Amino acid sequence: MISLLIKNAWLLTMQGEACGFVEKGAVAVDKDKIISVGKTEELENKWQAEKVIDATGKVVLPGLIDAHIHTGMALYRGVAQDMNNWLQKGVGPFFNGITDEEISIGSMLNVLEGIKAGTTTFGDYDYPMARIVNNHYQAGVRCHVASMVNELPSNLHHLRVGEIYPLDQTIGKRKLKEAIELLDKWHRKGNGRITCALGPQGADMVSKELLLEMRKLAKTYGVKVHIHVAQGERETDQMIKRYGMRTVEYLNSIGYLDEDLMAVHLTDATKEEVELLAKSGVSMIHCPGSIGLIDGIVPPVIEYMEAGGKVGLGSDQAPGNNCNNMFNEMKSAAIFNKIKKADPTVMPAEKALRLATIEGAKAIGLEKEVGSLEVGKKADMIIVNMQEPGLSPVILKPVNNIVANLVYSARGHEVETSIIDGEIIMENRWIRSVDEQEVIQKAQRAANSLSERIVKRIQSVNN
């Protein structure tokens, strides 16, 4: 008796070069693993399961991978957009005013938002991760977490634009210690659901010594280095002033470019930089929604893919995206790039879907465990109901419209059921592991308190 059989589905296994479509497909799961993928007829005859899900009229595909998200910023969703100087003027007051407790409360909102929109793996990169990671553990999701490390004093928002940031080694040491504690406590825990990475916030925000120490630690633990790279003018300006080099050149000069590096954004990376990174085996994490909204820019992801580099997608942070939904990222990746290149053929739907599944898994180093429906992999998958006005009808011939409609029309609420590590985390839109309304209400109370505190602070500054 195996634990779960899903049958009669339109399967997108994401095996092979495209999306691995199977009509009337089935997936057999035992405990946390996929033990068989194929036609319903065959699997139904072969396996007896404790639970059988009839997925007639539904699509089953690997759970989506959000390779870069700051869940700690969810509590101030939507307070900063349509503006210049997003970081300093927009999110600054909230970023500087929020408590660790509030960060943790807000973070759970993002986890639920993700689950309800098909995310099964969260590449969470934030601080204090020691608290945040408990939300992932409790919700039952897979995560790849890094405790963000910088050496920035907290009063940084008083700096003039263009002034070089002071770096404070005592801050770096404390945050590095926390990052190591996270690794020791959580890496490969929860049946392997939780994995860790080292997370320097940017080459401009930590000293060279600390960057090198973190790389050494990453090699010792066998984990990735997750870092923002080439985020734009502010960063480049700091790097030139401090080191006389742009970020990629600098990282190369200190031997940082290899396949354990995840480079997030590459907003203003040049063609040469992209080629160097891709050739070096570095992964690019592309966050189209966030960079489009905050900067009005489409990072060079097409060039990165053409150069043979590994690419994953991320939803980044709630203030300045303003959602954390991989259906939004897939669609944005596809259409923003068509607009950038004035060419509707670039980034077709199936490529976008691959970035959110199997390619994303490769980009974060979890391709042996997730990203496709394949025997031996972890049972992370979602069931999407196509019996919605916006996703129907389903046409299989002479063209198959399923992937196009998932990428260009689905919005996330069509994800009915989510299975992570073989456990049903959400069934028929009901999240089993966490009380959704309680999380929302708690977040609202925390936001009210944060909001009042910031209003008072502004008043006291003005008086």
Name which of residues 302 to 341 contact a second copy (CB under 8 A).
Answer: 318, 321-325, 328, 332, 334-336, 338-341
Of 99, 106, 146, the closest CA to residue 319 belongs to 106
438 lines the binding site for a second copy (CB under 8 A): no
- Of residues 47 through 76, those in contact with a second copy by CB under 8 A are 75-76
Q: Of 4, 117, 302, 415, which lies in the binding site for a second copy, with binding defined by CB under 8 A?
A: 117
Q: Does 96 bind a second copy (CB under 8 A)?
A: no
Go through 103-128 and write b for each residue having 16 or more CB atoms within 10 A of its CB, e for each that does not: bbbbbbbbbbbbbbbbbbbbbbbbbb
- Residue 198: beta bridge partners? 147, 225
Among 15, 404, 427, 433, binds a second copy (CB under 8 A): 404
Find where tokens 């634990």 sit: 3
CB of 334 to a second copy, least distance (A): 8
Sole window of 187-195, 221-229, 372-380, 444-452 interacting with a second copy (rule: CB under 8 A): 444-452
Please identify, using beta-carbon distances, which residue of 3 and 119 lies nearer to a second copy: 119
Q: In the range 363-392, which residues lie near a second copy by CB under 8 A?
A: 387-390, 392
Q: Which of 130, 171, 240, 394 binds a second copy (CB under 8 A)?
A: 394
Among 88, 252, 401, 433, binds a second copy (CB under 8 A): 401
Site membership for a second copy, residue 412 (CB under 8 A):
yes
- From the list 58, 68, 70, 77, which residue makes contact with a second copy (rule: CB under 8 A)? 77
- Minimum CB separation of residue 50 from a second copy in Å reads 29
- From 123-131, 142-150, 353-361, 404-412, span contacting a second copy (CB under 8 A): 404-412
CA distance 168 to 154: 10
Residue 126 in the binding site for a second copy (CB under 8 A): no
Q: Find the binding residues for a second copy in span 97-116 (CB under 8 A).
A: 106, 109-110, 112-113, 116
How many CB atoms within 10 Å of residue 188? 14
In the complex, minimum distance from the CB of residue 342 to a second copy, in angstroms, rounded to a whole number? 5
Candidates 26-34, 37-45, 268-276, 290-298: pick the segment binding a second copy (CB under 8 A).
290-298
Question: Closest distance between a second copy and the C-beta of residue 23, in Å?
Answer: 13
Of 149 and 298, CB closest to a second copy: 298
Q: Give min distance, CB of 307 to a second copy, in A.
A: 21
Judged by CB under 8 A, the residue of 62, 93, 309, 360 near a second copy is 93
Q: Which CB sits closer to a second copy, 152 or 426? A: 426
d(CA 170, CA 177): 11
Site for a second copy in 341-360 (CB under 8 A): 341-349
Between 279 and 341, CB nearer to a second copy: 341
Q: Which of 298, 358, 379, 381 binds a second copy (CB under 8 A)?
A: 298
